[in-house]
Structure 1
Amino acid sequence: MTTIDRITHTRDTALVRTARDVVLLLARIGLGVIMLAHAKLEYDFGGSLAGVGRMFAESGIPLGTLTGPANVLFEVVGGIAMILGAAVRLVGVLMALNMAGAWIFVHTSGLLAMDHNGPELVIALGLLSLVLAVTGSGRFGLDHLIARRRASRTAT
């Protein structure tokens, strides 16, 4: 490999890595905003955290008075964490589990039922959550900054 080839390869690799990190940033922000909006929607429907719990219980969701408020709080905290790129691997797994629960207990219509209760959105959000859990936050997230800081402390 010539010097020119090495320079071109290094530049291309840096470009691909930057593109990957920008896409991860956009995916994290998108997922986080959707989670925050969903938490607000649930809270508005319930009128309070206790109201969300009653709404979950009336919908037949197990332990609704506990899982309703916990769900809203998780979607807020998890949404913010996802936007900031903090604990993305853990939050991604938990969001995927949350979306699996939404699919099982709430969005029970068949795929493409067009009745506004189909599981397509929760499936897509769950899969995106898993992708982020596997890939992590990318360079533009707090996870990367914390890991880099720890590495520099260990090196010194």
Structure 2
Amino acid sequence: MRTRPLYDIAAVLARIGVGVVFMAHGWQKIEAGVTATSESFDGLGVPLPTAAAVYSAFVELLGGAALIAGLGLPITGALLFVDMVGAFVFVHAGEGLFLVDGTTVENGFELVLVLGMASLLFAAGGGGRLTVDQWIVRKRLRRPEDDEGEEDAKSFVESLRQAETKPLPKPARKPSSPRQEKPPSAPRQEKAPAPPEPTDPPAGDTGGKNTGTEDDTLVAGRRKSPRRRRAPGTDPGDTGPT
């Protein structure tokens, strides 16, 4: 499967090898100059030699670097594949398969065929996961909720581990409540005896005191006779009218 780490490592090595070859050919054309490269293409029968020279030089140099980094692989692979198709059709198709046959340089199409197929594979998504493209995609698609979910899951697993390793605490004994003593009852208060009610002296018994009439009033529990008015003329000092 392509998702296996072994495939990802193999894809990185393949991108590095193919990218180095493309960069070397592109740098060779730029170092020779666009004019010299276009004249060479014109002698080989390539249409629009100047445009073809500029295209092949910069696409091979920059495309090779992009292959190594894994940047824009679908576009980079497609551009390099088109470059190799042009080289195959206009230059190498009629020269046979081998570049060198014995001691003779045949300029065959074996190299452009291999480079073109590798570019097509990278364009179709065969660059593996260890690429700049995959890093950008994962960073854009990663949401803050996913990070929170992962943190919650990690904390939950950690709490389960701690619960398994931590011994269970012994149940604490309930302290026995002390007996509540009843408060001492208040001593009974004896009612004070009521004062004796005053009694009226018997009739006819004056006891050496002046007795009153029936209209006597009670004063401090005793009957007090009101003072009688004396009739005029009874006062010894009153002589009466003369």
Match of 1:71 in 2: 56
Output the amino acid matched with 1:117.
Answer: N
**2:119 equivalent to 1:132:** no
Q: What aligned pairs does 1:92-107 form with structure 2 within 5 A after superposition?
A: 92-107=77-92
Q: What aligned pairs does 1:49-64 form with structure 2 within 5 A after superposition?
A: 49-64=34-49
Unaligned runs of 5+ in 1: 1-12
Deviations, residues 112-143 of structure 1 (Å, cap 9, x unaligned): 47234110111111111111111243221101
Task: Give 1:150 deviation, angstroms.
Answer: 1.1
Larger radius of gyration: 2
Contact 2:96 2:106 in 1 (8 A): no
Identify the structure with the greater helix proportion: 1
SS at match of 2:92: coil
Task: Give 1:50 deviation, angstroms.
Answer: 2.4
Contact 2:8 2:129 in 1 (8 A): yes
Match of 1:10 in 2: none
Contact 2:98 2:110 in 1 (8 A): yes
Output the amino acid matched with 2:36.
Answer: G
Output the amino acid matched with 2:27.
Answer: K
Output the amino acid matched with 1:99.
Answer: M
Contact 2:11 2:128 in 1 (8 A): yes
2:109 corresponds to which of 114, 119, 123: 119
Output the amino acid matched with 1:58.
Answer: G
Partners of 1:147 and 1:69 lie apart in 2 by 32
Contact 2:98 2:106 in 1 (8 A): no
Output the amino acid matched with 2:34.
Answer: L
The count of residues paired between Structure 1 and Structure 2 equals: 141
1:41 corresponds to which of 22, 25, 28: 28
Compared CA separation, residues 37 and 155, structure 1 to 2 (3 A): farther
**2:71 equivalent to 1:81:** no
Output the amino acid matched with 1:22.
Answer: I
Contact 2:77 2:123 in 1 (8 A): yes
Output the amino acid matched with 1:40.
Answer: W
Deviations, residues 67-119 of structure 1 (Å, cap 9, x unaligned): 10221011111111111100111111221121111111111312247234110
Identify the structure with the greater strand proportion: 2
Match of 1:7 in 2: none
Identity %: 35
Partners of 1:60 and 1:17 lie apart in 2 by 46
Partners of 1:66 and 1:139 lie apart in 2 by 35
Unaligned runs of 5+ in 2: 147-242
